[in-house]
Amino acid sequence: MPAPGPLQLAVEEYLGHLGVERGLAANTLGAYRRDLQRYVSFLDTSGVVDVGGVREEHVSGFVAALRSGSDGRPALTASSAARAASAVRGWHRFLLEEGRAGDDPASAVRPPLPPRRLPRALDVAEVARLLEAAGAADPPGGLRDRALLELLYGSGARISEAVGLDVDDVVAAALGEDGVVRLRGKGSKERVVPVGSYARAAVEEYLVRARPALVAAGRGTPALFVNARGGRLSRQSAWAVLQSAAVRARLGSRVSPHTLRHSFATHLLAGGADVRVVQELLGHASVATTQVYTLVTADSLREVHAATHPRALR
């Protein structure tokens, strides 16, 4: 196997920085590696052998190749191409800051803009149907499923955050009047989120009446949500729980792993919550990510206005 060249060594240095200094998750690092490997291959084909030989036209050419597939690789969607372009921009910025390059050839290259998709949210009545349907399963699974979905909707947690919870992270939320849950989000960042009375009651009932029976099937685990074999519930199994409840609630394909999180944010904003408070609750690094929910709320307000105001009818 040939020794790695200067470009590959620079990529490995950057990935090491992301893993150690910024604490990115393994899945995120894997995506960065794939994107940068494709970029290095593109540079190799273009005759570039080290970082000093990269020019702005190389970067813009790569971004164009991501969308067209002209580099012999599959063409990417706008959102995936934007992610890859972001990885390239971050790499070049790192090289400049570390003194490994004299300039940043990617600074003026803008990633493709993905189409703006508004998140899909359930209305309050649909959420209630979904939660009731989750609890309709046979015990102890039904109590677990209801607690899981109540916690997802009550805290705005991602499914991966919910299944990553240990009992110690949530016991105060289940038993205390003003309970909170400690969530570990992207980049292992922690945030503390209040949990309402419905979620607290569902989690407490699950802890008392269902979890002991589930844990007994395994070798013991600190995990809050446990599968039938006594181990930690996986993200895929949690998704299956959500899908099964959606089918029973006659909501069908409208429900995805992020549906309850979207609904949580949309309902808070519709109720008058400040967008920056919702940003903190969701764990978004930028308020711009959260502001997409304000568009959903504005659309809902327009629909209500058009349907009910006597001078809005056309």
User: At 15, which CATH number?
Assistant: 1.10.150
Q: Given pLDDT bands bounded at 50, 70 and 90, which one contains residue 142?
A: very high
Residues 90 and 140 in one domain: no
Given 14, 32, 206, 293, the catalytic residue: 293
Q: Determine the Cα–Cα distance for residues 40 and 277; give it in Å rounded to an integer.
A: 41
- pLDDT confidence tier of residue 281, bands split at 50, 70 and 90: confident
Residue of 186, 235, 248, 254 marked catalytic: 186
Of 58, 129, 158, 191, the catalytic one is 158
Helices (H), 271-291: 275-282, 287-290
**Does 138 lie in the same domain as 76?**
no
> Can you give the residue range of the structural domain that contains 21?
6-97
Compute CA distances 146 → 156, 181, 197, 199, 257, whole Å: 15, 17, 14, 9, 15
Q: Let me know whether 65 and 146 are in one domain.
A: no
Indicate if 189 belongs to the active site.
no
Say yes or no: 81 and 133 in one domain: no
pLDDT band at 91 (very low <50, low <70, confident <90, very high): very high
144, 146, 191, 284: the catalytic one is: 284
DSSP state of 254: G
> Is the same domain home to 163 and 48?
no
115 falls within a domain: no
- The structure's pTM equals 0.60
140 and 236 assigned to the same domain: yes
**Does the annotation mark 262 as catalytic?**
no
- Asked, for residue 61, whether it belongs to a domain, the answer is yes
pLDDT of residue 197 exceeding 90: no
| 158 in catalytic set | yes
Q: Could you tell me which residue, 1 or 153, shows the higher pLDDT? A: 153
Of 41 and 192, the one with more pLDDT: 41
What's the half-sphere exposure (Cβ side, CA atoms, 13 Å) at 98?
Answer: 13
Q: How many domains would you assign to the chain?
A: 2
Asked if residue 153 and residue 257 are part of one domain, the reply reads: yes
- Which of 144, 191, 261, 262 is labelled catalytic? 261
Q: Are residues 283 and 245 in the same domain?
A: yes
Q: Which of 15-24, 107-116, 301-310 has the highest mean pLDDT?
A: 15-24
Confidence of residue 191 (pLDDT cuts 50, 70, 90): confident
Domain assignment present for residue 118? The answer is no
